[in-house]
Amino acid sequence: METMTLSEEGTPPGTGGFPWLKVGAGIVGVAILVLVGRSLGGALPEAVAWIRELGVWGGVAFVGLYAVAAVAMAPGSILTLAAGAIFGLALGVFWVFIGATLGAALAFLVARYVARGWVEGRIAGSPRFAAVDRAIGRDGRKIVFLLRLSPLFPFNLMNYGLGLTRVRFVDYVVASVGMLPGTLLYVYYGKVAGDVASAAAGAGAASRGVGYWLVLALGLVATVAVTTVVTRAARRALAGATGEVDA
């Protein structure tokens, strides 16, 4: 089996990476939803309304979809953006976090007990993973938490890779709280994108005043700024813990 080369920057449930990548993903999400909104007229707002009408069951279905996507190593960025458009900011963060944590836990267990050989083949020969493994041997929960804040590897591959380390499963799950800053950022992008798409389609968001859009924009800028600071601090701490030079 061909060994996969790990990227220098990873992405947790639609998170992580350099600030320009985060901004770029948000712009792409807005553009896609605006185009969809214009082409489908009221279809997008109606679809969002339909999912919202499912109440808690809509959220449960979303969690299941997100978990399956994580285990299948499918990109979670689009789902994270969609959560903001469908559920809004608070519920969007909640459902994404639950789905991402569940999917990460399942992938971890698969790697540890079912597909160890396959995962070893995917990460073989990675000095960076070897450094992470050594650091986890000293302080597993802290290192996994830092990886969630500022991942060294793509989110889906990291879930499987960490299943080969000595970190305890309970510490691994608890450290998932580190996904929250990036999750908040991408769900916020989705919220903005959903409102813009609805406005483009002539739905309810179009009737909102300038004040609403100004607050929304300022909130997004503040979220990007805070997430960037947190990510950089985590990257420095992680570099120190693993003995690598911070880029």
pLDDT tens, residue by residue, 58-96: 888 889 888 988 898 887 888 888 888 888 899 999 999
Q: What pLDDT, in 10s, does the model give residues 5-46?
A: 333 334 445 444 444 555 555 555 555 544 544 444 455 455
**Helix orientation angle between 210-242 and 127-149, rounded to the nearest 10 degrees:** 140
CA atoms of 241 and 202, how far apart (whole Å): 51
- pLDDT for residue 94: 95
As a whole number of angstroms, the distance between CA 117 and CA 183 comes to 31
Closest-CA residue to 88 (of 107, 114, 62, 116): 62
Q: Which of 86-90, 145-149, 241-245 has the lowest mean pLDDT?
A: 241-245
3-state secondary structure of 218: helix
Whether the predicted model's global pTM rises above the 0.85 cut:
no
In this prediction, residue 4 carries a pLDDT of 40
pLDDT computed for residue 245 by the predictor: 41
pLDDT of residue 16: 44
Exposed/middle/buried for 131, CB within 10 Å: 0-12, 13-18, 19+? middle
The per-residue pLDDT of the chain, averaged, comes to: 74
Per-residue confidence (pLDDT) for residue 69, from 0 to 100: 87
